[in-house]
Amino acid sequence: MKNIVILISGGGSNMAALVRCAARDQWAKRYGAQVALVVSNKAEARGLDFARAQGIATEVMDHKAFPDRETFDAALGDLIARYDTPEWPALVVLAGFMRILTPAFVERFAGRLTNIHPSLLPAFAGLHTHQRAIDASCKFAGATVHLVTAELDHGPILEQAVVPVLPDDTEATLAARVLTQEHLIYPRAIARLLQRG
């Protein structure tokens, strides 16, 4: 089995979209793949309830319980590595995981570590993407799925979706419009990676 490990910090709607798509499109049958584990660095992440209700294994790894970023990332990496199989190292999917990862972690999972970012990268890496797009009078915004490299919110682009920025948009209305597209492109990008093997 190809194991997918999803990392979240909050609502987990992208994780839920992936889980739903995996079931609907029969990823187990089609690709021999399953969402095997959902990890959150926050115990109160709402996404954990969804994952548990789906019968998916969950783990909470509180970064505040670790002395530094390196130690946390090493422990997180070891947890994920338990889901490697002899034929296939686990695919690591960041879905609203609000932690900056160390170069050592990125290196360890290079080529099988993905992220979704709510902007049309390379524009607006970092936080507050929607407000920054509105402030810059952008006419279009969107979301990007990319492979993770050591530089924050960079790396080869796997999928993008574009939405219009409307004249009366607020950060919240734009974020909601972008999020609906995130839920389409993240599962599509992961399915492509699984297909490629």
Beta strand extents in 55-151 (DSSP E only): 57-60, 91-94, 113-117, 140-147
Catalytic residue among 117, 130, 146, 183: 117
Nearest residue by C-beta to ligand GRF?
A: 96
Q: Which is nearer to ligand GRF, 45 or 194 (CB)?
A: 45
Question: What are φ and ψ of residue 151, in 5° steps?
Answer: -85, 135
Choosing from 3, 5, 7, 10, the residue that interacts with ligand GRF (CB under 6 A) is 10
114 binds ligand GRF (CB under 6 A): no
- Least spacing, CB of residue 14 vs ligand GRF, in Å: 3
User: Can you tell me which of 116, 133, 158, 190 binds ligand GRF, judged by CB under 6 A?
Assistant: 116
Region binding ligand GRF by CB under 6 A among candidate stretches 4-12, 36-44, 83-91, 162-170: 4-12
If 0-12 CB within 10 Å is exposed, 13-18 middle and 19+ buried, where does residue 67 land?
A: exposed
Q: Does residue 19 interact with ligand GRF by CB under 6 A?
A: no
Window 152 to 181, contacts with ligand GRF (CB under 6 A): 179
Instruction: Tell me: cis bond preceding 67? Omega within 30 of 0 counts.
Output: no
Beta bridge partners of 3: 34
Grouping H, G, I as helix, E, B as strand and the rest as coil, residue 185 is helix
Catalytic site includes residue 117: yes
Name residues whose C-beta falls within 8 Å of residue 164's C-beta, 6 or more positions apart in sequence. 139, 140, 141
Residue ranges of the alpha helices (H) in the chain?
13-24, 27-31, 47-53, 69-81, 103-108, 129-135, 171-196
Stretch that binds ligand GRF, among 10-18, 19-27, 32-40, 84-92 (CB under 6 A): 10-18
Catalytic amino acids?
Answer: 117
Residues of this chain that bind ligand GRF (CB under 6 A): 8, 10-14, 95-96, 116-118, 179, 182
